[in-house]
């Protein structure tokens, strides 16, 4: 190998390495979100699909001062969010026959995993119409944008522990979510 070949090889390697570093930085210039956990609730082995019940489920927690936080707007005392629940029922988005398998699926707001990670809140409560209250134990961790792309959730606040009524939440990959994220199964 002559001097020009070695110089060209080194120059190409340095440029390639530099560009690969830029690529990673470019990917993370646009921040990825916290973790919006998808879940279903099963009772006696059957998925809960009664929309009258599902539409009236709420999630709340108690902050470090013991104050009940029942909606995103309770978090800082001002109306900064357009929605008033930590839950979204999937039926609001999927209405076709193909999507009917998703009926009963809900989305837990990323604000919940953020509260777990940033405020150290790990106990959340699921209130059903009629007065039943179940518990969610969640431990989430803050990771860098680069690591977030490597996480299963493709998020910066992955959930490390998730229990429902004291039992580990199972992960179901049979739902066709575009991001490959699992749907957590909460057994009542």
Q: What percent of the chain has pLDDT over 90?
A: 24
Contact predicate 88/162, CB 8 Å: no
pLDDT band (50, 70, 90) for residue 30: low
Instruction: Tell me the domain boundaries of the chain.
Output: 1-29, 31-187
The least confident of 4-13, 68-77, 87-96 is 4-13
The sign of the torsion formed by the CA atoms of 170, 171, 175, 178 equals: positive
What is the pTM for the complete model shown?
Answer: 0.74
Residue 145 has pLDDT above 90, yes or no: no
Residue 96 has pLDDT above 50, yes or no: no
Residue 7 has pLDDT above 80, yes or no: no
Contact predicate 185/38, CB 8 Å: no
DSSP state of 181: P
Comparing 105 with 168, the larger pLDDT belongs to 168
Q: Which residues contact 151 (CB under 8 A, 6 or more apart)?
A: 143, 158
Residue 10 has pLDDT above 60, yes or no: no
30-63 burial, b for 16+ CB within 10 Å, e for fewer? Answer: eebebbbbbbbbbeeeeebeeeeebeebbbbbee
Residue 2 has pLDDT above 60, yes or no: no
CA distance 38 to 148: 17
């Amino acid at each position: 190998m002559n001097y020009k070949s070695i110089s060209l090889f080194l120059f190409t390697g340095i440029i390639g390495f530099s560009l690969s570093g830029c690529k990673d930085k470019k990917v993370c210039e646009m921040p990825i979100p916290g973790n919006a956990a998808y879940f279903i609730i099963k009772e006696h082995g059957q998925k809960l699909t009664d929309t009258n019940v599902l539409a009236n489920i709420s999630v709340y927690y108690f902050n470090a001062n013991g104050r009940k936080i029942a909606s995103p707007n309770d978090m800082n005392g001002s109306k900064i969010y357009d929605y008033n629940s930590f839950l979204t029922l999937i039926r609001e988005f999927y209405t076709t026959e193909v999507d009917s398998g998703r009926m009963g699926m809900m989305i837990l707001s990323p604000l919940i995993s953020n509260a777990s990670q940033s405020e150290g809140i790990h106990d959340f409560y699921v209130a059903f119409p009629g007065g039943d209250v179940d518990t969610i134990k969640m431990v989430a961790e803050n990771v860098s944008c680069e690591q977030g792309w490597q996480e299963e959730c493709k998020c910066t606040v992955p959930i490390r522990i998730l229990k429902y009524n004291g039992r580990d939440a199972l992960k179901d990959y049979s739902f066709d979510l575009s991001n490959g994220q699992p749907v957590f199964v909460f057994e009542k």
